[in-house]
Chain A
Amino acid sequence: MTLQRVFKKPVSLIDVPTHYCAGCGHGIIHRIIAEVIDELAIRERIIAIAPVGCAVLAYDYWNFDTTEAAHGRCPAVATAIKRTMPDNIVFTYQGDGDLAAIGTAETVHAANRGDNITVIFVNNGVYGMTGGQMAPTTLIGQRTATTQHGRNAACDGHPLKILEMLAVLEGVCYLERTSVESPANIIKTKQAVKKAFKNQIENKGFSMVEVLSMCPTYTGRSIESSIKWIKERVSKDYPLGVLKDRV
């Protein structure tokens, strides 16, 4: 009886060690995207836009065409690529600073134009690459490099709900918030990501998945505690589920 290979690494993921910290969600999310792209057989059509942030080197791990973009500008870059190359599948992969701070205008306007692109938003509540500063999605009371006594609503505002804000826009087709802190939610994340890509293939319009992710290093936690943090605190401020589904 010969051995059959029934499970292997996705073709869309380059088989190299990543630079991400132990317990970081990026590794999981990169893999989810790669599996989805393989399963939908779109690897050769993909043009991906990498962010500025910990995932700036995503192109070292992805086995498809990828471009850099200036910080926050991925959606504008994506709009241009998709409108000039409509048969390609175009997606952005962005962190909380890229998408909801410096890139807020580009995010809102690409969504408002209803561009047929896919946006993967990795929300880990902190700016990892630059050493753990406050993100728009940092929780009240959370300590970061720039909120050393904890985020204070009076001077720092509340955690920004970009997905909820986008839900009121006509041009948006699909918005879902998921998380990767448990196997069950990882499966749900993959389903959501698959739907967000399928929508583009079927010309349904702007689709975005916000994925709550762990950053043990800069939330000053152990890996286990950063998982608990999402379960017990983050998902209270950022409830999981579908926020919009026009399909």
Chain B
Amino acid sequence: MTPNKSQNAKHKPHKNHLMTGNEAIGEGAVRAGCALYAGYPITPQNELTAFMSYRMKEKSRIFIQSESEIAAISMVFGASVAGKRAMTSSSSPGISLKQEGISYLAGCRLPGVIVNVMRGGPGLGNIAPSQADYFQAVKGGGHGDYHIIVLAPSSVEEAMSLTMLAFDLSDTYRVPAMILTDGILGQMMEPVGISKFQFKTAGFIKKPWALTGAKGRKPRVIKSLWLKPGALEGFNIKLQQTYKKIKDKEARQETFYCNDAELIVVAYGSVSRTAKAAVRVLRSKGKRVGLLRPITLWPFPEQAIKRYAKKTKKFLTVEMSAGQMVEDVRLAVEGKAKVSFYGRMGGGIPSQNEIEKEISKLLSLRGA
């Protein structure tokens, strides 16, 4: 795939800059002050790696095409140890490789941003879009009791803004953050109001724990190994307290026509756009349907869903998977509503028609 000539031109602050989701994520990282990017080629995020290979150098930052996805996450670990903002990106199989590294980031309380542009799986799968890594992203993926903050953009511009947010949240809480997106969003092009996103030059969160060389101070250690009896449990208790703080403060969602909805569709990322179109059409026909789009997948917007479940008794979760987020929707409604699922797997993409049909079918069923 030959790079687009305009991709190689120096970026001028246009009012609306046409870019791919992959590029927007990259530009967002650069504007957020990302000091190091390490990545390994894998479809469908190669545009991001290629973009970073020249954009990072333009801004005198560090770009490394690493020997593997494992080396890349280890490089993020290294830069983070030194107090620098760092990012890596991959797609599903490569994200599987990074799981140990992510667990280490979590265990060492290191910030870092990981981008997953999801593709069909399991195994080698295909290069079509998917949302089948939700469990991996949100329920752990790596070993141990930890969470990472997971952000799911649904537009190219949101991909840029959420990437910048990921760096801030990651630094604030010392928790790794993931941008969970898919091949559609990664490769589609949309205009971005790029001048809204200022280059961050000040206000970086201080890192008094970073390794910078023990000059004029006691040496510091970054580790996740706690061998003394009770020490690791004590550390885990502190981690869980941090996660609780994040759950209380950082859940984000977008709601569309939910207040009087008889049925709420829950969808994220690319699927949420199709679902929104379906909801719009059905609303124009007088059907009381709405859309709840989680923006943070962890922390999951369970409070918002719980609130709506008081009045809305039908939820339809639509995903490009066999049904992963649907489990969190079921947990969130606490039995107060009926939660249905519609999905496509292995790179299949739900169409607006399919979603409309599914909603209509559920609306016509007798109440929960």
List chain A positions with a Cβ less than 8 A from chain B. 43-47, 49, 56-57, 59, 62-70, 73, 76-81, 83-85, 88-89, 105-106, 108-109
Residues of B within 8 Å of A77, CB to CB, are: 74-75, 77-78, 81
Residues of A within 8 Å of B132, CB to CB, are: none
Q: How many residues of B contact A (CB 8 A)?
A: 38
B213 adjacent to A44 (CB under 8 Å)? yes
B64 adjacent to A46 (CB under 8 Å)? no
Residues of A within 8 Å of B79, CB to CB, are: 80-81, 84
| A105-B215 in contact given A67-B221, A70-B104 (Cβ < 8 Å) | no
Residues of A within 8 Å of B100, CB to CB, are: 70
Any chain A CB within 8 A of the CB of B62?
Answer: yes
Any chain A CB within 8 A of the CB of B71?
Answer: yes
Counting chain B CB atoms within 10 Å of each CB, the highest count among A43, A66, A80 belongs to A80
Can you show 10 pairs from A to B with CB atoms below 8 A apart? A46-B213, A47-B81, A66-B219, A66-B221, A70-B74, A76-B71, A76-B72, A77-B77, A85-B82, A85-B213
A-B pairs with beta carbons under 8 A, tally? 127
Further 13 A-B residue pairs, CB within 8 A, beyond A63-B214, A81-B211, A84-B35 = A44-B213, A57-B225, A65-B214, A67-B81, A70-B100, A73-B70, A73-B77, A73-B101, A76-B78, A77-B81, A80-B64, A81-B81, A106-B71
B224 adjacent to A68 (CB under 8 Å)? yes
A65 to B82, CA, bound (A): 10
Minimum CB–CB distance from A58 to chain B (whole Å) comes to 10
Residues of A within 8 Å of B68, CB to CB, are: 105
Residue of B whose beta carbon sits closest to that of A115: B64
B71 adjacent to A65 (CB under 8 Å)? no
Residues of A within 8 Å of B62, CB to CB, are: 80, 83-84
Residues of A within 8 Å of B215, CB to CB, are: 44-45
Residues of B within 8 Å of A62, CB to CB, are: 219
Counting chain A CB atoms within 10 Å of each CB, the highest count among B84, B214, B215, B216 belongs to B214
Residue of B whose beta carbon sits closest to that of A86: B62
A67 to B210, CA, bound (A): 10
B75 adjacent to A85 (CB under 8 Å)? no
A46 to B223, CA, bound (A): 17
Residue of A whose beta carbon sits closest to that of B76: A80
Residues of A within 8 Å of B67, CB to CB, are: 105-106, 108-109
Interface flags for B28-60 (1: CB within 8 Å of A; 0: not) read 000000011010000000000000000000000
Residues of A within 8 Å of B108, CB to CB, are: 67-68
